[in-house]
Amino acid sequence: MKILNFGSCNIDYVYRVDHIAKEGETLSCKSRQLFPGGKGLNQSVALARAGAQVFHAGCVGVNEVELCEIMASSGVKLELLKRVESKTGHTVVQVDKTGKNSIIVYGGANLQITPQYIDEVLREFTKGDYILLQNEISNVPYIVEKAAGKGMIVALNPSPYNDVIDEIDLNKIDYLILNEHEANSLSGKSSPEAFVEYITQAYPAMKIVLTLGEKGSLYIDHEQTIVQPSYRVKVVDTTGGGDTFTGYFLAGIAASKCAAKAMKHAAFAAALAVSRQGSAVSIPTGDEVDYVIDLLKPNDEIYSRKQRLVHETIRNNLEDITLEKVAAVLGYSPSYASRWINDNMQMPFGDIVRKVRCAEAAKLLREGELAISEIINQIGYSNESFFRKIFQKEYGKTPLEYRKFCARMKVLKEKDG
What pLDDT, in 10s, does the model give residues 84-125? Answer: 999 999 989 899 988 888 989 899 999 999 999 999 999 999
Where in the sequence of the chain do the CATH 1.10.10.60 domains occur? 305-416
CA distance 101 to 282: 15
Residue 239 annotated as binding site: yes
State phi, psi for 59 to the nearest 5 degrees. -125, 140
CA distance 334 to 324: 5
Please state which CATH number belongs to domain 3-292.
Answer: 3.40.1190.20
DSSP-assigned letter for residue 64: -
- Give the confidence band of 393 by pLDDT, cuts at 50, 70, 90: confident
% the chain with pLDDT above 90: 58
Residue 293, pLDDT > 70, answer no
Residue 213 annotated as binding site: yes
Question: How many C-alpha atoms does 417 have within 13 Å on its Cβ side?
Answer: 6
- Res 244: pLDDT: 96
Claim: this prediction has a pTM higher than 0.85: no
Residue 237 annotated as binding site: yes
- Res 32: pLDDT: 92
Residue 2 annotated as binding site: no
For the segment 178-191, the average pLDDT, to the nearest whole number, is 92
Nearest to residue 234, comparing CAs of 208, 260, 214? 214
Q: Which long-range contacts (CB under 8 A, 24 or more apart) does 300-309 make?
A: 302/216, 302/227, 302/229, 302/230, 303/229, 304/344, 306/330, 306/340, 306/344, 307/344, 307/345
CA distance 384 to 12: 51
- Res 299: pLDDT: 47
Nearest to residue 248, comparing CAs of 259, 236, 239? 259
Alpha helices in 255-285 (DSSP H): 259-274
Nearest to residue 317, comparing CAs of 329, 307, 305, 334? 329
C-beta atoms surrounding 58 within 10 Å: 28
Residue 367 annotated as binding site: no
Residue 413, pLDDT > 80, answer no
Where in the sequence of the chain do the CATH 3.40.1190.20 domains occur? 3-292
Which residue among the candidates 129, 243, 290, 294 is catalytic per the annotation? Answer: 243
What class is the 305-416 domain?
A: mainly alpha
Q: What mean pLDDT, rounded, does the chain reach?
A: 90
For residue 18, indicate whether it is catalytic.
Answer: no
Name which residue leads in pLDDT, 214 or 90: 90
CA distance 368 to 362: 10
State phi, psi for 291 to the nearest 5 degrees. -65, -40
**Strands (E) located in 82-172:** 82-84, 89-95, 101-106, 130-133, 153-156
- Res 300: pLDDT: 44
CA distance 184 to 164: 16
Residue 302, pLDDT > 50, answer no
CA distance 209 to 218: 6
State phi, psi for 242 to the nearest 5 degrees. -65, -40
Radius of gyration of the chain from its Cα atoms, rounded to whole angstroms: 23
Q: Which range among 113-127, 242-256, 390-404 shows the weakest confidence by mean pLDDT?
A: 390-404
Question: How many C-alpha atoms does 178 have within 13 Å on its Cβ side?
Answer: 28
Residue 367, pLDDT > 70, answer yes
19, 28, 244 from 135: Cα distances, Å: 27, 30, 16
- Res 262: pLDDT: 95
Determine whether 57 is exposed, middle or buried from the number of CB atoms within 10 Å of its CB (0-12, 13-18, 19+): buried
Residue 39 annotated as binding site: yes
Residue 247 annotated as binding site: no
Residue type at 190? S
Residue 169 annotated as binding site: no
Residue 91 annotated as binding site: no
Name which residue leads in pLDDT, 233 or 75: 75
Residue 63, pLDDT > 80, answer yes
Residue type at 58? G
Residue 408 annotated as binding site: no
Name which residue leads in pLDDT, 284 or 295: 284
CA distance 288 to 272: 9
Residue 261 annotated as binding site: no
